[in-house]
Structure 1
């Protein structure tokens, strides 16, 4: 979904929000320097306690996957069944991801930090690449443009190289968020360049582009 190549993961990576996804687990197995942040992760404390809480979060995500799969089946026309050939395939992948998250997060809890946008506990330029999926624009019916602008500014602040955001469509809606252009104009005025790049990943109807943001100074 992020149109990533191996070279894009050569530096440090932040997954924000990470949720109970398997990205951090899989990236760590590939030797990537990655940290996930999410408000649902347990706060700082003993590793064993945090590990147990993270495993429980993964188990909860597996239960939620069943509910989400039923929702997707009811709205099958809103999705392109290509990457996931059937709703059953989609559910199987979500269950696999939740299990991978639970296993990894419980064994390496330090890679999972409790935090939420629009404030992250990292220094300016702390990581090379920031990935943000299924939060910004997805819930634009509940999160206003002021929140989106603050969140995008924060993601750019902590990124040395670039930020990638996907999808750009509102869940249950059609097409990209209507306020996207105005947000990008505001960021351009703040020396942030934007690229809307096609992605081969297909699931939600209309979600076929990833937003790539870069501080202008790195564009040369």
Structure 2
């Protein structure tokens, strides 16, 4: 969904929000220096306490996968069955992702940090790549433009490379957020905006572009 290449994952990576997904687990298997943040992660405590709480989160994610898959099955015509061949395949992959998260979080809980946009506990330019999945624009019916602007600004602050956001479609809809262009225009002239096609990923109808942001370098003219 982010059209990532191996070269994109050679530096430090932030997954925000990470949820109970398998990205961090799979990236760590490849030796990637990645941190996931999410407000549902447990606060600081002993390693065993955090591992137990993260395991419970993974178990909850598996239950949510069952519920979400039932919805997708009952509304199959509303989805594109490209990445997931069938509703059963969708469920199997989500359960596998929850299991991978649960197993990895138990062994490396330090890679899961409790935090929430629009304020992150990281230094300016701490990451080479920042990924934001299924939060911004997805819940634009509940999170206003002020939150989106603050969140995007914060993601740019902690990035010394690119920020990638997916999807740009409101949950339950089939079109990108209608205020997307105006909102991006408020980020400032020093932010380069690029809208790229996803790399063959297809599930939610209309969600076929990933937003890529970066700070313009001195030689840039500020346009993508």
Compute the TM-score of the two structures, normalised by the length of structure 2. Answer: 0.96
1:65 aligns with 2:65: yes
Q: Distance in 2 between matches of 1:198 and 1:10?
A: 22
Measure the CA separation in 2 of the matches of 1:12 and 1:153: 19
Q: Tell me if the contact between 1:145 and 1:183 (Cα under 8 Å) persists in the aligned partners.
A: yes
For these two proteins, the number of residue pairs brought into alignment is 219
Structure 1 residue 209, shift from structure 2 partner:
0.4
Cα gap change, 1:69/1:60 in structure 2, threshold over 3 Å: closer, same or farther?
Answer: same
Structure 1 runs of 4+ with >4 Å offset: none
Matched, 1:32 2:44: no
SS of 1:80's partner is coil
Deviation readout 1:176-220 (Å, 9 max, x if unpaired): 001110111111x25111100001211100000000000112775
Cα separation, partners in 2 of 1:48 and 1:77, compared to 1, 3 Å: same
Task: After superposition, give the CA deviation of every residue in 1:54-110 in whole Å (9 maximum; x if it has no partner).
Answer: 011001100110001111122212210111110000000000000000000011000
Q: Corresponding residue for 1:9? A: 9
CA–CA separation in structure 2 for the residues paired with 1:192 and 1:78:
35
* 1:45 CA drift (Å): 1.1
Note if contact 1:15-1:131 (Cα within 8 Å) is conserved in structure 2.
yes
Consecutive unaligned residues in structure 1, runs of 5 or more: none
In the TM superposition, what whole-angstrom CA distance separates every residue of 1:36-60 from its partner, at most 9, and x where no partner exists? Answer: 0000000011111101100110011
CA deviation vs aligned residue, 1:16-55 (integer Å, no higher than 9, x gap)? 0000000000000000000000000000111111011001
- Alpha carbon RMSD of aligned pairs, Å? 1.0
Q: Which residue of 2 aligns with 1:174?
A: 174
Flag the structure with higher helix content: 1
